[in-house]
Amino acid sequence: MSRYITRLRMRRAYKWNGRSVSKDRKLKRQYYESMSISVEGKTEDVTVSLGQYILIEGDDDDNPFVAQLLKLYTDGKKKTAVVQWFVRMCEVPQNKRKLLGRDPHPQEIFFYQDHSCDDEVDGETILGAVQVGIYVPVEDPFPKGKSKGILFVKLLWDTKSFRALDPELMQPPQSSKSPPPSSRGPQTRALPTPDLSVMKRAMSGILTRGSMSTGKMSSSEAESLHSASKLSAAKALSAKRRSRAVSGPHVRKKLDLCSECHTAPATPRTPRHVTPSIPSRSAPARKPGNVLEEARARLHVSSVPESLPCREQEFQDIYNFVESKVIDGTGGCMYISGVPGTGKTATVHEVIRSLQQSAEQDEIPHFRFIEINGMKMTDPHQAHVQILQKLTDQKATPDHAAALLEKRFSAPAPKKETTVLLVDELDLLWTRKQNVMYNLFDWPTRRNARLVVLTIANTMDLPERIMINRVASRLGLTRMSFQPYTFKQLQQIITSRLNRVKAFEEDALQLVSRKVAALSGDARRCLDICRRATEICEHSGSQKSSSGLVGMSHVMEALDEMFSSSYIAAIRCASVQEQLFLRAVIAEFRRLGLEEATFQQVFVQHQALCRVEGLQPVNVSEGLTVCQRLGSCRLLLLEGSRLDLFLRIRLNVSQDDVLYALKAD
């Protein structure tokens, strides 16, 4: 289609042909039947009329957008065109092109049916007319010997499949000489055009929403991006073309964000429809120089492993649960518990990634995945706000968001699509009335909700300890418990991450695994210790082992550093009552399943521990004194505004460090 290449190096001017054929006084619009486009350097103008097929400026200069012109109007400020989009095969997402079942014809386009795609574009992005051949039935071959400038339509693309096209859809629109929507008659009234600022906010939500957990764009996101490109192309590229015209007809410029700064001394304008990018490296990233550097990179907690060892059964159970709900179109809830660092969140993310791959291959129905984290919220009621925003891109107050979600999950699910909601750090969403937890567990039980909720917490018996009966009853019996890793499992995790990179002696790996397994079974702590051991080995100099690998001495030094901080030294030097108080804090945290408790709750545990140890229990004033001393050492975080029974207490060190210090003592 060299005839329609859009690398134009000249300016274009647009003007209406004749007088307007109708007016809409309510919307302040004037409708026209045709428009002329004059191109600099050409003697004849190009005319586009209603019903014609046109080319619209897009991101790819060689393949501009194709559309059928339905309406032309102006509101006194700019020219606007209403179009019916067509798509080329290059605009269809890569993972969906195989659904065609054959190789596309070089001149083939597809009727685009997607109600979420905006059909209004800037009239000054129209490049000209294009000839589209007659509709070709599915069973007929494409015509041969036709000009390369002619396009053919045979099928319809609805963002999910290619289907046979109804020939009536290819009929030209009615003339604009018919009465406008606001005139007399029984015709339906045209809806007002949405505000541009609202459309931009909605489009920004479409472009940023999605599955963060997988790091991969889903099919629905790709389609939304395609729709968004059509919406923004008429505006962003129009501005781009006008900036080229200002500098001269023979100069092609790239989009300059500060082009207006040199011509207008006014306040700088914020660029719109610009995708932020990361500057390219001046030099490639440095590759690991030796085996120890390679091992250190592989053992970092942010490094994505090729597989999740030692969690195969948990993975299969969660996968089967979610898959059955998605296929059956029903709702459900699963409570996943386990101590930190046991792979709960990583396993769920891997399950969702595998299910999304199955959905892309049409093995299971498509579903939406959204995730919230209690750690990232200032208030538990913000959960309602985040869920609503990720589902509908709508912002509301917590109470209003809860009401809208209640209405959404009580009515039939839109488009019959299941929603999978992951709620991490569930214990931080606890409130006195427990209304947030109740909603999360109650919505999946609704008949038309089609909602699957996966909740993750650190305490196995959280429902029985802090949930009232009406909340715990909604949770059901579907639970999954992640046990702490054993030393053999930790050793297998490290070995799988190293992946045949020989950097550790076998005894050194076993020592790290046994030490961490005996304390907490936290895989992240194990990885941190191994990484520190590689650094010690690399800079040890004369203390390097004969094999050049990380040995027992390096691991022991890393363990001493990890468990010999100033906090641990302070705990070891604390008095007996202060150490007992720290043990009472941890015991109460584990009883509640939370990371915060009041002084009164901890004091009860402290008195019980005193009796167990054969010591005289302290009174309230003595207990408050002990608590204040620990707070002054920054071992505890205390509420600064009060000093009474309801003083709130948090740990300022990890529970592992406290247990290690007390155990060693």
Q: What DSSP letter does each residue of 612-626 carry, written as one string?
A: HTT-PPP-HHHHHHH
User: Strand pairing of 65-74 and 53-56?
Assistant: antiparallel
Residues 554-600 pLDDT 10s:
989 888 887 667 888 888 889 999 999 999 999 888 887 778 889 99
Neighbour-count burial of 457, counting CB atoms closer than 10 A to its CB (0-12 exposed, 13-18 middle, 19+ buried): buried
Of residues 201, 194, 228, 285, the one with CA closest to residue 65: 228
Note whether 71 and 21 are within 8 A (CB).
Answer: no
Residue 215, by phi and psi: left (phi above 0), alpha (psi -120 to 50) or beta?
left
CATH code of the domain occupying 487-563: 1.10.8
Q: What is the mean pLDDT of residues 118-131?
A: 87
Token pair, residue 311, equals: 């969690």
Note whether 321 and 478 are within 8 A (CB).
Answer: yes
CA–CA gap between residue 598 and residue 589 (Å, rounded): 10
305 residue type, one letter = P
115 vs 406, higher pLDDT: 406
What does the domain layout of the chain look like in residue ranges?
A: 12-164, 312-481, 487-563, 567-663
Please name the residue that has the structure tokens 């912002």: 395
CA–CA gap between residue 547 and residue 40 (Å, rounded): 76
Beta bridge partners, 22, equal 31
Note whether 120 and 74 are within 8 A (CB).
Answer: no
Q: Helix 398-410 crosses helix 435-442 at what angle (to 10 degrees)?
A: 20
pLDDT at 9 over 60: no
Please name the residue that has the structure tokens 């937890």: 437
At the fourth CATH level, the homologous superfamily of domain 312-481 is P-loop containing nucleotide triphosphate hydrolases (3.40.50.300)
Token pair, residue 310, equals: 């030692």
Residues 363-398 pLDDT 10s:
999 999 999 998 888 888 999 999 999 998 888 999
pTM of the entire predicted model: 0.49
Rounded alpha-carbon distances, angstroms, from residue 10 to 46, 242, 330, 351:
14, 10, 58, 54
Note whether 457 and 337 are within 8 A (CB).
Answer: yes
Q: What is the mean pLDDT of residues 293-314?
A: 84
Mean pLDDT of the chain: 78
Selected from 2.60.40.1940, 3.40.50.300, 3.40.50.2000, 2.30.30.490, the CATH number assigned to the domain covering 12-164 reads 2.30.30.490
pLDDT of residue 475: 59
Phi, psi of 101 (to 5 degrees): 80, 5
CATH code of the domain occupying 567-663: 1.10.10.10
User: Strand pairing of 53-56 and 46-49?
Assistant: unpaired
